[in-house]
Structure 1
Amino acid sequence: MNTLPPEPEPVSTAPPSAFQRVISAYERLAETDRAGDWETLRSEEDVLVEAKAIDERVRAGEDLPLAGQLLATGAGTAIAGLPDGPGLAEVSAVAVQRLTQAGAVVLGRAGKASVPAVVGAKAADLGLDTETPGWHTTFALRATSGLIPDTPVVHARELTLARRALAAATEADAWPRTYRLGAGDHPRVAVPNSAALARLPIGVRRSFDAVVAAFSASGMRIQPLGGPFDVLLAPSALDLAEPGSPSVSVPLGEVGGEPFSITLSTAAFEEQLAFDLAALLTAAPAGEPYPATSVEFVVFGEQVRGRPLSAWLAELGARYAGDVLTASHYRMVLLAGPEAGVVPGAQALSGERWAISPDGFERLRAGLVAPLRVTTVRLENGVSLPAVTCDPMAESTELTSYRDWRAYLRFLSTAGSKSAA
């Protein structure tokens, strides 16, 4: 008989406030001998004042995606109140302003080429810099030229945090109307040839081969560098991408006592393709698309993944963003094709949510064949999104009892098998 008292229920604790995080950071700085990592540290009193203001904004209900995250910048980055040329900087660099508006707290400027060092040593949560080194102990995200003025590289120990910071530092109006958020279920991944890899230590080559094998097993189409590709995958020690290309560098531990990392590079404004592969490699949450200008929409029929028209969505650069369930306001009908049509009714239907560029969405709308069209549907959570539906007056057959296009297709397959028997 068990006479021990029951285990107490776990007590949830609130995350540390920005004020507490700053105090802890300066205590760690006092305990460690890493003064050489910094060019200029701000006074603890000044940083605590800003941290307290962040906490007050959070208590007031403001949504701050970087609340309390401690930020280090590269040497030469303007920070208000710190030496800048002959005097003190009056305003911070644009990227610094954007991150602090999102809740980050600036500790100071790291020494030359040591932003990854202070982030990797946990002296700061985030770093801003102008370049990425040829090796990485942190996630290093480089934005397309022009999206983030002056300091286009974000460093962080976690991919999810780095993505949030990159999004916060990017001006939404800087995005063009057309870009790709996805490359389908089997993107083309280019890799260096054996001659390029031969310059690297054998341990690095073996580790890189393991990464390539993992991507291949996940359905990526691995191909030698030289032809068209969606993402370029290379060891970070090899600088093979076009100058200024957007990229995501992923730290993967050590090989032979040295940091080992890989870098995923893409064409301009296609960072999301690299983000998704990095998330796959590290099992990090996929997160929301990087561009703030993307359009979300819902599909129900032959555009869902695995069906013929999903390839069309891939050509348009759309990205799958999850399954959804509508409010109980619709019904599903069978159109010629065969294709699913969605019209007003009294049932909930299953569908998929996708994201796409503004121009891609207009191409989608223009490419639909009647009676399909784009209208607005309400989801079970109350959110309304544009969706591929159909003209209620179209000639059709009732399918509402299935509530899901794939369920109807499975029924057809089963019925066909029974008939053949």
Structure 2
Amino acid sequence: MPRPALARVRAAYARIEAVDRPEIWIGLRPQSALEEEAHALDARLAAGEFLPLAGRLLAVKGNIDVAGLPTTAGCPSYAYEPAADAPVVARLRAAGALVVGTTNLDQFATGLVGTRSPYGAVRNAHDPDRVSGGSSSGSAVAVALGVADLALGTDTAGSGRVPAAFNGIVGLKPTRGLVPADGVVPACASLDCVTVFARTLPEAETALSLMSSPATRPVPVPARVPGPWRIAVPRAEQLGELDAGWAEAHASAAVRLRAAGAVLRPVDLTPFTEAAAMLYEGAFVAERYTAVGAFVDSGPAGLDPTVAGIISAARDLPAHRLFADRDRLARLRTAAEAALGDADALLLPTTPGHPTLAEVAADPLGTNARLGRFTNSTNLFDQCAVAAPAGEVGGLPFGVMLIGPAHTDERLTRIAALLTPPVRLAVAGAHLTGEPLNPQLLSLGARLIRTTTTAPVYRLHALRTAPPKPGLVRTDEAGAAIETEIWELPAAGLGALTAALPHPMVLGRVDLSDGTTAAGFLCEPYAVEGAEDITRYGGWRAYRSSREEGAPTF
């Protein structure tokens, strides 16, 4: 019997050992505990139970409650033992996810760098000399390095987006209130959001849908006038100083959206950047003192000095400043909404640059402040956002951010999907033109490129499934060329197909007759035992045609 959940757990712990990044974790669960849960999960799957996240491994930021692990918020002396999972964790577990452990963070979720922790600075997944981004540093790196499939973070000033950009993954910051924040140590309770990291948009969207509580804020989605997507893009000079190559990468992302049919329009970024500066420089930082200020003032062991300084300084802010800042923020929000008009999204670089660990150590406050230039205003303006990979600059990931009005979360992910170059998919069975599952490809925006054959190293078997489909298996001997169609589809579409792929089908690499390769549907070898070998027909359609004509099947 196949045991996909158990295999995934074992692969993850092998990966943990291989990458040797202990700073990712605050509480890593024993492999034996996860294997026991995986055994039970595989048995449920074998019994026919549907679990949308079956076998997906989940990492959880250390300020979110996980039953059986201490919640530290990045401070050992603050730790407590939660009585139950936070609702977001419980919902993902109920869908089949397995929790690997709790992850490191900028202490009390105060920072965008990922270095403000007594558990160690979390190094970037691609360049260990650079920061991973914070405060959800460990969660993002666990996903980027392939240990976890999904991870939870939080986002007040950009903590669910900055580390996504720095590590080349997806970060979804939902509309405030869409996802419950119970069981989360607050940073600024009125602004905090629980966020999700994944390597693909479809995976992140699935997790977010399972975590969400739509009835929490029954506010209608803003009406949209029909037409192409309308994307607001600021002029280059309004972005301020960016790292070398980042302005060009941002412009390239805008061009890709336009090539996909979007309409670009200029926008005045001033209200956004002015509001961003208020999050730490104004009175709103006082809410951080409300959350943990008394604890910090008691002088416990393990406080990060930068974090402690920020929180303690907020204690003495006068109340009149908060009311003045609220009035100013209301004016800036009105100006920002006017600047966006009927635009569906605002396209920005997620950050102005990617600092090294040494640069942060030399100027911890200034470097952190720069990173929040584009992210800090989002929650102040009650907006949602998607951080998505948009290529590389200098061999490191470059990420952009799409920001939109509250409750346009789904709209933003649809736009973000346009940024990813299409992928090629080789199909040899039920997804071929005219076959029963071909509408799945068409519904995902796929288009047929050509018909060809595989390299002569495969065998084809007729599986006993409904609808009927073949199993393509690579062999080291006595293989043959099998008829194959090559389709092109958005990467998000491939992710959606993969997420819904039933056993025993798997996504793998298919070698083609011209020497190139493509992603394609293969079959686990165990499933062809006892199945009819139909390799001699040269393809699924020829086999099906012979059956319809009543030809002998030998």
Please, which runs of 5 or more residues in structure 1 have no aligned partner? 1-13, 286-320, 324-421
Instruction: Determine the structure 2 residue equivalent to 1:251.
Output: 389
Paired amino acid for 1:28: R
Instruction: Determine the structure 1 residue equivalent to 2:439.
Output: none
Check if 1:207 corresponds to 2:249. yes
Check if 1:128 corresponds to 2:152. yes
Instruction: Determine the structure 1 residue equivalent to 2:94.
Output: 101
Identity score, percent: 33
Check if 1:20 corresponds to 2:133. no
CA separation of 1:16 and 1:210: change in aligned 2, threshold 3 A: farther
CA-to-aligned-CA distance 1:153-199 (integer Å, 9 cap, x gap): 10001111111111111124335262259663412211122222341
- State the alpha-carbon separation in 1 of the partners of residues 199 and 211 from structure 2: 17
Structure with greater proportional strand content: 1
- State the alpha-carbon separation in 1 of the partners of residues 411 and 6 from structure 2: 36
Check if 1:233 corresponds to 2:342. no
How far off its partner does 1:277 sit? 0.8
CA separation of 1:284 and 1:49: change in aligned 2, threshold 3 A: farther
Check if 1:72 corresponds to 2:59. yes
CA separation of 1:140 and 1:15: change in aligned 2, threshold 3 A: farther
CA separation of 1:209 and 1:71: change in aligned 2, threshold 3 A: same
Kept in 2: contact 1:185–1:219 (CA 8 A): no
Instruction: Determine the structure 2 residue equivalent to 1:144.
Output: 175
Paired amino acid for 1:141: L
Kept in 1: contact 2:161–2:171 (CA 8 A): no
- State the alpha-carbon separation in 1 of the partners of residues 196 and 91 from structure 2: 13
Paired amino acid for 2:171: A
How far off its partner does 1:87 sit? 4.5
Kept in 1: contact 2:340–2:346 (CA 8 A): no
Which of 40, 46, 50 pairs up with 1:59?
A: 46
CA separation of 1:63 and 1:172: change in aligned 2, threshold 3 A: farther
The correspondence of residues 160-175 of structure 1 with structure 2, limited to 5 A, is: 160-174=202-216
- State the alpha-carbon separation in 2 of the partners of residues 101 and 188 from structure 1: 38
CA-to-aligned-CA distance 1:133-155 (integer Å, 9 cap, x gap): 43342100111111112252100
TM-score (ref. length: structure 2):
0.47
RMSD: 2.5
Q: How many residues align?
A: 275
CA separation of 1:86 and 1:115: change in aligned 2, threshold 3 A: closer
Kept in 2: contact 1:182–1:272 (CA 8 A): no
- State the alpha-carbon separation in 2 of the partners of residues 45 and 16 from structure 1: 15
Paired amino acid for 1:227: L
The correspondence of residues 308-387 of structure 1 with structure 2, limited to 5 A, is: none
Aligned partner of residue 114 in structure 1, secondary structure: helix
CA-to-aligned-CA distance 1:276-333 (integer Å, 9 cap, x gap): 1111222579xxxxxxxxxxxxxxxxxxxxxxxxxxxxxxxxxxx899xxxxxxxxxx
Between stretches 159-168 and 81-90, larger displacement belongs to 81-90
Paired amino acid for 1:255: V
- State the alpha-carbon separation in 2 of the partners of residues 28 and 218 from structure 1: 37
CA separation of 1:204 and 1:19: change in aligned 2, threshold 3 A: same
Which of 187, 190, 194 pairs up with 2:229?
A: 187
CA separation of 1:284 and 1:22: change in aligned 2, threshold 3 A: farther
Paired amino acid for 1:194: A
Instruction: Determine the structure 2 residue equivalent to 1:157.
Output: 199
- State the alpha-carbon separation in 1 of the partners of residues 224 and 22 from structure 2: 43
Kept in 2: contact 1:236–1:263 (CA 8 A): yes
